[in-house]
Structure 1
Amino acid sequence: MLTITEYEVEHIKDPFRILEGKRYEYKLDVEVPEDDELYSENGLYVRAIYNEREEGGRLVKYDLYEKSTDRYLDFDLEDDEVRMIEAFCREHLEDAEA
């Protein structure tokens, strides 16, 4: 299971209205146990896009990156990890820059 250690969130302007509602980009620094297939000595972060609408929000997309190299990692998270990230994003919307 991954643990979020630090995060940044930013409200993304969407002049073309590709998605209804407000879009937020998160950069989540994460730690994973050494025995996890995602583990990297260089550290990991998740780049997540969260969309907030009147009827509720949802995680639109996430990508995993190696922290020190910014190299994209082609891995999928477990369902419970995706739900945890989605809940974290929902709880930290107010931290976004206006």
Structure 2
Amino acid sequence: MLAVTEYSVELVKDPFRILAGRRYEFVIELELDEEDELYSANGIEIKAVYKVDGEQGSVVSYGLYEKSTGRYIDAELEDEEEAALAEFCKAHYEEGED
């Protein structure tokens, strides 16, 4: 599962209304065990875009990055971790409205 230590969420502005629905950008810092294959002493964060269109919401894209260097990590979350990410975003996207 995902152990979130900090996060931020922000509504992505679309002044020309090109995209259907609303998009929210998440930056989620993770706490990982040293045994985890994604572990880095520099810290790991997920940058995700979550789309809400009517009553439906989904993660459009995400990437894993080293927190202190910003270096992209070429890896994917496992299926249950992706599901946990979607649930986390669903529970918190409204905070981006502020």
Q: With the length of structure 2 as denominator, give the TM-score of the two structures.
A: 0.92
Whether contact under 8 Å (2:2, 2:85) holds in the other structure is no
* Cα distance in structure 1, aligned partners of 2:96 and 2:66: 24
Deviations 1:1-39 (A, max 9, x none): 431111000000123444311000000000111111100
5+ residue gaps in structure 1?
none
Runs of 4+ more than 6 Å apart: none
> After superposition, where does 1:1-98 map in structure 2 within 5 Å?
1-98=1-98
Q: Distance in 2 between matches of 1:84 and 1:25?
A: 16
- After superposition, the CA RMSD in angstroms is 1.3
Matched residue pairs, number?
98
Identical residues among aligned pairs (%): 52
Is the Cα–Cα contact under 8 Å of residues 2 and 30 in structure 1 kept in the other structure?
Answer: yes
Q: Scaled by the length of structure 1, what TM-score is found?
A: 0.92
